[in-house]
Amino acid sequence: MLSLIERGGTCREIVLVDRIPERAAGVAADMRYAAPLSPVVDVRAGGYQDLVDAALVVITAGVNEKAGGATDRSDAQGRLRLLDTNATVYADVVPRVVSVAPQAVLMVVTDPPDPLADLTRHLAGHDRVFSTGTLIDSLRFRVHLADRLRVRPLDVQAMVVGEHGTSEVLLWSSAAVGGIPVLELLGADGQPLDAVRHDIEESIRYANITIIEGTGASQYGIGAVSARLVEAVLRDERAVLPVAAYNPDFDVTLSLVSVLGAGGVLRMHQPRMTAEERAALDRSVSTLREATRRALDVVEQQPAAGPR
């Protein structure tokens, strides 16, 4: 949230809601001290009732990877290990949000974001829901490619689609620098491509664990991503970004080429893929469908929540 203040000019009012009011008050106080560095913005702690007329609600509630035991590189579930616990949290939070802000766009940040966004759609009863998806993974892809090619990450075009998790798909076939395929550039350097691809993919798939091992939590990258997505919605930018929303062609929430504006994800397009990449995306879709079914099963066992 601090990233919203640092970027400046995005929000006029930010309300923090937490099940522990003292925590929300403490974070709001901490953030307010950065307000003089940005255009006018009001930051305060509040309750669900303070979300009335909110244009966008960012949901970050739930346990993180370290607390939820999702930091084992050999665990194929990855972030999905947090799903049952966080689905229970969402079963309580989302109906409360929707009861006071039925018109708001809902942005899911909590891991695993894609099945939780699908769950949020069901709980909210509308499609103005999206998750941070694979934007952070795509940025990491660009950074690793830039390091290998000794160029600016800004000049690298590369995308990750599917799940924000271990089944994500790196689109090597369309990754480029200045219109030149990165595989061609990497090959020209005499680097063994299979080894390079493996190293980069492992670094991206488990970047969160590497960060957690060093700092205890992955915060800054996803914070910057969240601030950027808030901008795109509140400014109705119609920005093209790899974020996740429900796609009827796949009947699940996943990241593709998404157009993000005032109503959330307005359109989604499938990028060009090789047969290998498409097969990997199909596997990712299967993983996400099963995760969404699991989340819905968890919620069906919970008592209905109401406004507080």
> pTM of this prediction?
0.90
Residues annotated as catalytic (active site), given as ranges: 164
Q: What is the pLDDT of residue 3?
A: 56
Tracing tokens 């942005």 back to the chain, one arrives at: 107
Q: What is the pLDDT of residue 70?
A: 80
**Do 18 and 28 touch, CB atoms closer than 8 A?**
no
User: β-pairing, 176-177 with 244-247?
Assistant: unpaired
**Do 268 and 161 touch, CB atoms closer than 8 A?**
no
Q: What is the pLDDT of residue 72?
A: 84
Q: What is the pLDDT of residue 4?
A: 54
Q: What is the pLDDT of residue 303?
A: 67
Q: What is the pLDDT of residue 33?
A: 76
Q: What is the pLDDT of residue 181?
A: 96
Q: What is the pLDDT of residue 308?
A: 47
DSSP SS3 for 107: strand
* Per-residue b or e along 295-305, where b marks 16 or more CB atoms closer than 10 Å to that residue's CB: bbebbeeeeee
The reply to whether omega before 39 is within 30° of 0 (cis) is no
**Do 112 and 172 touch, CB atoms closer than 8 A?**
no
Q: What is the pLDDT of residue 34?
A: 77
Q: pLDDT by residue for the chain (308 residues), tens digit each?
A: 555 555 555 677 889 998 888 988 888 888 887 777 777 778 888 899 999 999 999 999 999 888 888 888 888 888 999 999 999 999 999 999 999 999 999 999 999 999 999 999 999 999 999 999 999 999 999 999 999 999 999 999 999 999 999 999 999 999 999 999 999 999 887 778 999 999 999 999 999 889 888 988 788 899 999 999 999 999 999 999 999 999 999 999 999 999 999 999 999 999 999 999 999 999 999 999 999 999 999 999 876 555 44
Closest by CA position to 257, among listed 245, 247, 246, 270: 270
Alpha carbon distance 250, 35 (integer Å)? 43
Q: What is the pLDDT of residue 43?
A: 87
Alpha carbon distance 284, 205 (integer Å)? 13
**Do 51 and 18 touch, CB atoms closer than 8 A?**
no
